[in-house]
Amino acid sequence: MNRLQTAVAAFAALIALPAFAHDGVHIHNAYARVIGGIGASGAVFFEIENHQDVADRLIAVSSPIAEKAELHSHLDQGGVMKMLHVQDGFIVPALGFLELARGGDHVMLMGLKAEVKNGDVIELTLTFEQAGEVQVQAVIDNNRKPESGAMGHDMEGHNMEGHDMSGHDMDGHDMEGAAQQ
């Protein structure tokens, strides 16, 4: 490669970057926990990856499966976790990540219109200030442990079943968490 070719290649690499930077937001590892039948509530968790070079904000959510969907978080009030409706939405840093996870930020579904079971897929529409509307499919997974969401990227391709089966007290614990959420 001569000098000119090298310079052209370097320039091509540079101009390729902004195409990625403006590629909106991507949603990873979406799953939902739902306890109960029609009229029940559920919580949805996922990771938001912001490919934009500006911060974005998740401001609204809706789902055909629920009468109402809200952005919620948990607040530790002297050891008691209280759930609150986040009116201002969730900020996702420029070129950064936000994880919605158990015990933290989550999407709350209220007034389910249909009965769902493990393995069912529900549709969500997320509305971002910058990226606009993003469609998400979340699988109902009432057995997932909190850690598997947090480590979603790293755990992919590993033996998730083996990992999940090693859980000890999860059944009781999970049901408590779901009742709160």
- In the complex, the residues that contact Cu ion under the rule CB under 5 A are 72, 83, 108, 181
- Minimal distance in Å, beta carbon 180 to Cu ion? 8
Closest to Cu ion by CB, 37 vs 103, is 103
Closest to Cu ion by CB, 33 vs 72, is 72
Closest to Cu ion by CB, 63 vs 181, is 181
Cross-strand pairs, 92 = 56
**Strands 90-92, 56-62: parallel, antiparallel or unpaired by DSSP?**
antiparallel
149, 102 Cβ separation under 8 angstroms: yes
- Minimal distance in Å, beta carbon 181 to Cu ion? 5
Q: Which two tokens stand for residue 147?
A: 């850690």
95, 21 Cβ separation under 8 angstroms: yes
- Minimal distance in Å, beta carbon 149 to Cu ion? 15
Closest to Cu ion by CB, 69 vs 92, is 69
- Minimal distance in Å, beta carbon 43 to Cu ion? 6
What's the rounded Cα separation, in Å, for the pair 102 and 41? 15
Nearest to 72, CA basis, from 91, 53, 35, 100:
100
